[in-house]
């Protein structure tokens, strides 16, 4: 049997304000860890785009991963109203020029501090939805009610929920029933038999592999999929096929 190939949907490079012991920040170190764990490709965003300035961090990302074809750029985006970020039409042109297929948003008070509601981010979200861009949002960035409103207002928007925890099923299952384009990154989903139950109830296509490196362990994330009690086909879907299918749906 061929070894499982992994496409990581959620990695970070760049120095961070809070240094986690044992972590790393350079692109070359990310690639070395990926090779060690059998992760062939990874979506990465830059810490400076989250912690300092989105545009500056996105530019730094493009420069730092230039010589690493296994690293795929993810931009951090926000609304344009304050002039800190380009308006959606210009942004999409820039994304097309740089082959950007996925974005992160960090609207929480402890991050970039803005409302993701339609009156503030509606134009941006509608543009991402129209183009099939993948939107990654951490569960720490918004409430379940915020997520419900977002999915309701933009039913075609592909949303990958990251940074989840083991106590989300009582909300997640209802959301999965209502919104077909909501997906969950596997890294934080440490629910007892959780992966198995989602595959049974909703299908393996709702799960996307992610590690959260360098803050979290790539080995643990890979192990969760390799040792899940699901079929080899379902494992391959989660490991790489689901995210590749989503990427093919991007229309730039």
Secondary structure in 3-state letters for 25-79: CCHHHHHHHHHHHCEEEEEEEEHHHHHCCHHHHHHHHHHHCCCCCCEEEEEECCC
Confidence band (pLDDT; 50, 70, 90) for 23?
Answer: confident
* Range name among 14-28, 34-48, 122-136, 189-203 with the lowest pLDDT average: 14-28
Mean pLDDT computed over 9-15:
96
Under CATH, to which class is 6-247 assigned?
Answer: alpha beta
Phi/psi at 183 (nearest 5 deg)? -130, 160
pTM: 0.96
139-168 per-position pLDDT tens digit: 999 999 999 999 999 999 999 999 999 999
Q: What is the pLDDT of residue 4?
A: 87
The domain segmentation of the chain, as residue ranges, is: 6-247
pLDDT at 202 over 90: yes
Q: What is the pLDDT of residue 1?
A: 60
Q: What is the pLDDT of residue 17?
A: 83
- Mapped onto helix, strand or coil, the DSSP state of residue 134 is strand
β-pair partners for 248: none
Q: Tell me the average pLDDT of the chain.
A: 96
- Mapped onto helix, strand or coil, the DSSP state of residue 10 is strand
pLDDT at 236 over 70: yes
Q: What is the pLDDT of residue 33?
A: 95
CA distances to 166, 177, 178, 207, 237 from 199, rounded to whole Å, are 16, 13, 17, 8, 11
């Amino acid at each position: 049997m061929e070894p499982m190939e992994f496409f990581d949907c959620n990695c970070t490079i760049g120095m961070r304000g809070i240094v986690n012991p044992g972590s790393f920040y350079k692109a070359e170190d990310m690639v070395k860890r990926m090779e060690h764990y059998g992760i062939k490709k990874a979506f990465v965003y830059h810490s400076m785009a989250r912690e300092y300035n989105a545009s500056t961090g996105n530019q730094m990302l493009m420069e730092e991963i230039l010589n690493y074809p296994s690293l795929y750029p993810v931009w951090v985006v926000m609304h344009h109203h304050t002039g800190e970020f380009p308006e959606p039409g210009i942004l999409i042109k820039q994304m097309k020029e740089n082959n950007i297929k996925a974005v992160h948003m960090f609207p929480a008070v402890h991050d970039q501090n803005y409302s993701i509601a339609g009156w503030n981010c509606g134009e941006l979200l509608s543009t991402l939805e129209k183009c099939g861009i993948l939107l990654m949002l951490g569960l720490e960035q918004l409430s379940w009610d915020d997520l419900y409103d977002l999915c309701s207002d933009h039913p075609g928007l592909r949303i990958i929920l990251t940074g989840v925890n083991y106590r989300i099923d009582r909300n997640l299952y209802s959301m999965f029933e209502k919104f077909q384009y909501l997906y969950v990154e596997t890294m934080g989903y440490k629910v007892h038999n959780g992966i198995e139950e989602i595959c049974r109830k909703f299908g393996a296509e709702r799960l996307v592999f992610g590690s959260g490196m360098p803050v979290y362990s790539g080995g643990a994330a890979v192990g969760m999929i390799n040792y899940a009690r699901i079929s080899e086909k379902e494992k391959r879907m989660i490991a790489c096929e689901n995210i590749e299918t989503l990427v093919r749906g991007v229309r730039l």
